[in-house]
């Protein structure tokens, strides 16, 4: 080493660092020692990290790096890839140096129960829509999360938003009107409709109308207002990938790089959408604004300030529209792919109309009494769980035993949503199939077990989705109102839609032909 340092120093005339040859040698020796120590530390850290979870199976590369998680996220197939690991290795699999996923619903209940010592992990940091503050979804502090949730639960439940049902009915009427005006095909006219796109227009207008008293106008304009869908289609996959590497998410949200993120002053894109939302909410906080009986009004009455309300309004639109649209698309796609189920649901609707069991529009309470409709909805939630992210939770200090295996404290435990909801032990040997009859033909104990499991798509306990009431009301109404009026068929049966997953299921090119019932 000394000879090498002398050669380097002599070749530069002793001026490598502007000092004497001997001083340079000492400095270079120190740098070499530091570099060697750093490499040794990294090697030792990697070995320790590998060893602490070495008893849990998974891809070999995942034990040493986040590459496997990032790769599958970028390919938009993380839920499928994790399910394949669970099918191969069992209920616990390792997907990263400190990350495992489970397909055991009992583990999820244990982590999510109200008094659970588990906390949200760094995965949630990537889901700050405002880099300067957390929202209800990204908040990792349990005490702060509970306090914020308590201010909002009444607004989400509809207890203080008595117009919730009529608001959803109004937006369904706008969707029906849009179809009638622009997308009815006949024997001489062909007007295909992208059902996936219109489903999201519907859910965006519903949640914005419920959230702050006016729809954003997607159905009225039949257009991607503010390029919201275009922008989120690009940004949500990036957020999912950043969730795999939370350090990068925190770096991007730091004050040094924050300028790269969307801002409410932007003229286009997601920033412009944030600006419009913030402006609408700010108007409600003005001195001369009258109180309104909607979600925002409830939040304000329970103590949300302007900044909190603006952040939650954006979260409502992002989280409430994409997940609900995902389920509406999933149910419709699988009904169209299963003509007996489609006709059976339509027959149930027709019979209920003929016997006066349902109104026009149908009421939420009436829809709950249509057994095949409820089976179709539950099967749609199960076959493609609306939220496909890992939702990593952190094992408490001291570790825990999961599925009979000790898991050290600080380990991140995520959800294998497809594996849970396609489990043959829970749903039967044909769990990969969309078959609503499974909810009607099985014994009561089996159905109750299935129901408790599928309900976990809305999560559980202290982290249960507050928008569940809104989502189920949308599902209870929209299929009845569409199928009582129209006939739907896929335009391309061999490739009815292109489906990928970026935390939510993304449907592209879901083209359908719509006709009025009885017209052909």
151, HSE (Cβ side, Cα atoms, 13 Å): 19
3-state secondary structure of 329: helix
The string over 15-41, giving b where at least 16 C-beta atoms fall within 10 Å of a residue's C-beta and e elsewhere, is: ebeeeebeebbeebeeeeeeeeeeeee
Rounded distance between C-alpha atoms, residue 16 and residue 10, angstroms: 9
- End-to-end Cα spacing for the chain: 89
DSSP per residue over 390-424, as a string?
Answer: ---EEPPTT-EEETTEEE-TT-EEEE-HHHHHT-H
Place of tokens 């109308």: 209
* Residue 465 among known ligand-binding residues: yes
- Written as six digits, the tokens of 214 are 């006016």
Residue 326 tokens read as: 């995902």
Put residue 226 in one of left, alpha, beta given phi > 0 → left and psi -120 to 50 → alpha: left
The b/e string for 213-235 (b: 16+ C-beta within 10 A; e otherwise) is: bebbbbbeeeebbbbbbebbbeb
Integer CA distances (angstroms), 480 to 132, 172, 362, 461, in order: 43, 11, 7, 31
Which tokens go with 493?
């049966």
Structure token digits, residue 135: 């929202």
Within a 10 A sphere around the Cβ of 184, how many other Cβ atoms?
Answer: 16
Q: Which residues does 314 contact at the CB level (< 8 Å), separation at least 6?
A: 129, 130, 135, 273, 274, 277, 278
Torsion angle, CA of 94/100/104/110, rounded to 10 degrees? 150
* Rounded Cα–Cα distance for residues 455 and 290 (Å): 38
Let me know: does 125 contact 135? Beta carbons within 8 Å. Answer: no
- Neighbouring C-beta atoms of residue 269, cutoff 10 Å: 18
Vertex 253, ends 247 and 257: CA angle to 5°? 105
Exposure on the CB side of residue 422, measured as CA atoms within 13 A: 17
Structure token pair of residue 305: 């300030």
Q: In terms of Cα–Cα distance, which of 371, 380, 367, 382 is closest to 477? A: 367
Distance CA 60, CA 231 (A): 35
Detail the residues annotated as belonging to a binding site for heme. Answer: 465
Detail the residues annotated as belonging to a binding site. Answer: 465
């Amino acid at each position: 080493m000394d000879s090498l340092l002398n050669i380097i120093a002599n070749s530069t005339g002793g001026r490598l660092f502007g000092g004497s040859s001997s001083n340079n040698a000492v400095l270079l020796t120190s740098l070499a020692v530091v570099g060697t120590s750093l490499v040794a530390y990294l090697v030792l850290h990697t070995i320790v990290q590998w060893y602490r979870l070495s008893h849990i199976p998974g891809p070999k590369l995942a034990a040493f790096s986040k590459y496997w998680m990032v790769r599958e996220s970028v390919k938009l197939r993380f839920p499928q890839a994790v399910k394949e690991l669970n099918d191969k290795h069992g209920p616990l699999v390792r997907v990263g140096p400190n990350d495992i996923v489970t397909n055991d619903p009992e583990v999820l209940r244990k982590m999510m129960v109200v008094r659970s010592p588990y906390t949200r992990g760094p995965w949630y940091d990537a889901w700050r829509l405002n880099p300067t503050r957390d929202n209800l979804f990204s908040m990792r502090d349990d005490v702060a999360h509970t306090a914020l949730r308590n201010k909002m639960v009444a607004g989400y439940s509809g207890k203080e938003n008595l117009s919730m049902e009529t608001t959803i009915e109004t937006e369904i009427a706008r969707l029906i009107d849009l179809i009638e005006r622009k997308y009815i095909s006949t024997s001489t006219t062909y007007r295909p409709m992208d059902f996936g796109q219109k489903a999201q227009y519907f859910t965006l207008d519903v949640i914005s109308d419920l959230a702050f008293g006016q729809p954003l106008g997607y159905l009225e304009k039949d257009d991607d207002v503010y390029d919201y869908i275009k922008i989120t289609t690009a940004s949500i996959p990036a957020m999912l990938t950043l969730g795999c590497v939370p350090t990068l998410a925190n770096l991007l949200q730091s004050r040094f790089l924050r300028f790269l993120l969307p801002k409410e002053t932007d003229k286009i894109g997601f920033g412009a959408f944030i600006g419009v939302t913030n402006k609408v909410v700010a108007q409600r906080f003005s001195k001369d604004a009258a109180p309104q009986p909607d979600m925002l009004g409830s939040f304000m009455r329970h103590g949300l300030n302007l900044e909190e309300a603006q952040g939650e309004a954006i979260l409502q639109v992002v989280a409430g529209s994409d997940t609900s649209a995902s389920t509406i698309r999933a149910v419709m796609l699988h009904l169209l792919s299963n003509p007996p189920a489609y006709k059976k649901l339509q027959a149930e609707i027709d019979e209920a109309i003929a016997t006066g069991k349902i109104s026009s529009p149908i009421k939420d309470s009436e829809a709950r009494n249509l057994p095949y409709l409820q089976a179709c909805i539950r099967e749609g939630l199960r076959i493609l769980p609306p939220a496909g992210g890992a939702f990593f939770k952190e094992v408490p200090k001291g570790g825990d035993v999961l599925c009979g295996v000790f898991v050290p404290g600080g380990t991140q435990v995520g959800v294998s949503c497809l594996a849970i909801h396609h489990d043959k032990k829970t749903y039967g040997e044909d769990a990969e199939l969309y078959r609503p009859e499974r909810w009607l033909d099985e014994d009561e104990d089996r159905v109750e077990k299935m129901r408790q499991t599928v309900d976990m798509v809305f999560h559980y306990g202290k982290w249960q989705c507050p928008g569940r009431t809104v989502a189920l009301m949308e599902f209870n109404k929209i299929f009845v109102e569409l199928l009582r009026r129209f006939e739907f068929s896929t335009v391309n049966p061999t490739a009815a839609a292109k489906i990928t997953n970026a935390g939510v299921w993304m449907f592209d090119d879901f083209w359908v032909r719509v006709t009025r019932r009885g017209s052909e």
